[in-house]
A and B are shown apart, each in its own frame.
Chain A
Amino acid sequence: MKHSFKQVAVAIGLVLGLVAGGAQADEVKAAVAANFTDVTKKLTPIFKEKTGHDLVASFGSSGKLTSQIENGAPFEVFLSADAARPKRLAESGMASTPFTYAVGKLALWSADPAKVDGEGEVLKSEFSKLAIANPKTAPYGAAAMEVLANLKLADSVTPRLVQGDSIAQTFQFVSTGNAEIGFVALSQVKALAPEEAGSVWVVPQELYAPIKQDATLLKKGEESAAAKAFLEFLQSPEAKAVIEQYGYGTE
């Protein structure tokens, strides 16, 4: 099983050739926050139909994607789950001025159809665990803490908090029943089939600062007409209709 240096070099060359050959000029490489996965999948074929360009999206937590972008990841546009990270990238010259493409809405959700009431009173009851996204890294987690603070429930609830690494994992904790209730993104609940929808309280906007999700053109996309076309498409009435349909607000 000994390979000569030449064979290895040829193999590496082939792989590199395939990767390079696969990347066409009209392809947009996007880094997309995990909570926007479903919407992006819905938008991709519409974008293709409108412009002929392909959207190739990598999904992950905004924090992880930001680290990757700062360290040379080949993304051309960035759809973050917050406003702070695109701003940080813009300030360090790695991205252009961000704009808000969606406003996230927070929901208190349980997989049990009888658990959550329309007023959020369940938070004062004897539930076992409340799942939130990590408030340090996930905007939905920070918003959840804000809601608890505004309801003066932070002290009574804190011992029963469990943190998901991302809003996706938080959702998973609740959907498997490991956490009885959890603060998730309304968009996640909207994506469920009716028989799985459980019970939900859409948290009133006055209880937390709007979760602005900002997008930006990254340095690697500066020369790409397709990347710019996608960001324009994202602000079109057609895209906005889809975004709202999934439980987000738009500006």
Chain B
Amino acid sequence: MAQFDWQPVWLTLQLAGTTTLLLLLVGTPFAWWLARTRSFWKQPVGAVVALPLVLPPTVLGFYLLLLLGPKGVVGEMTQALGLGLLPFTFWGLVVASVLYSMPFVVQPLQNAFEALGDRPIEVAATLRASPLDRFFTVAVPLARPGFLTATVLGFAHTVGEFGVVLMIGGNIPGETKVLSVAIYDYVESLEYDQAHILAAGMVGFSFLVLLTLHFTNRRLEVRQ
């Protein structure tokens, strides 16, 4: 037990951090659109975003392996752009995680934006705030609990990701061997001691994350 391998832990934190950041950047305008639009496409697009909630991760992993592979549409594109192939790379996992954790970021944001209603935005408009100004100085601060929930859930869900990573990761130490895969590996090779350290750590981490989320959300609600 002298030299326990912490690399999967750092790698997982990096993956979850990168994914959450990207998801907030992409998910915020997306959620805003979903919350405000009256377009016919609102429901179909919302359903597509929610797909990872119900699909087994293996479905997503399988199609990503085909799509990102050398014979897949996306794979041909990344190769043409000189990026090489995404499966078995850290950035391949980022792409997969962004898709996989999308509903956990977009839905809380959408709910928060919808809960604002039209009024604060309209009031800001009468005070001659530009649309961008309205969004950043009115909508975003008011939707703070939504942002907190989205960040925490997006991060935690990526940490807990397993099936997709197993399908397209290739178990490369320091590149795609994340926590959940490392635990699986230890269990498979009957090294239960190491498995326990990581697995118990995950249980503790997840509990703390959810507990913090509940407390912070309550504090924010009380303040508002």
Contact = CB atoms under 8 A, between A and B. Distances in A.
A164 interface: yes
Nearest to A70: B190
A162 B69 contact: no
Interface size, A (range) = 20 to 34
A251 B197 CA distance: 42
A63 B185 CA distance: 10
A162 B170 contact: yes
Contacts of A173: 65, 87, 170
A134 B186 CA distance: 12
A177 B70 contact: yes
B166 interface: yes
A178 B87 CA distance: 7
B65 A178 contact: yes
Given A178-B65, A178-B88, A137 B170 contact: no
Interface string B60-92: 000001101111000000000000010110000
Interface bracket on B: 20 to 34
A176 B66 contact: yes
B171 interface: yes
A163 interface: yes
B188 interface: yes
Contacts of A179: 88, 170
A136 B172 contact: no
B31 to A, nearest CB: 32
Interface in B156-184: 166-168, 170-172, 184
A161 B177 CA distance: 13
A165 B171 contact: yes
Contact of B185 (A137, A161, A177): A137
Contacts of B172: 161-163
Interface of A: 61, 63-64, 66-67, 128-129, 131, 134, 136-137, 161-165, 169, 172-173, 176-179
Given A163-B170, A177-B71, A179-B88, 9 more contacts: A61-B188, A63-B187, A63-B188, A128-B85, A134-B171, A164-B170, A173-B170, A176-B66, A178-B168
8 contacts: A63-B189, A137-B189, A163-B172, A169-B166, A173-B170, A177-B70, A178-B70, A178-B85
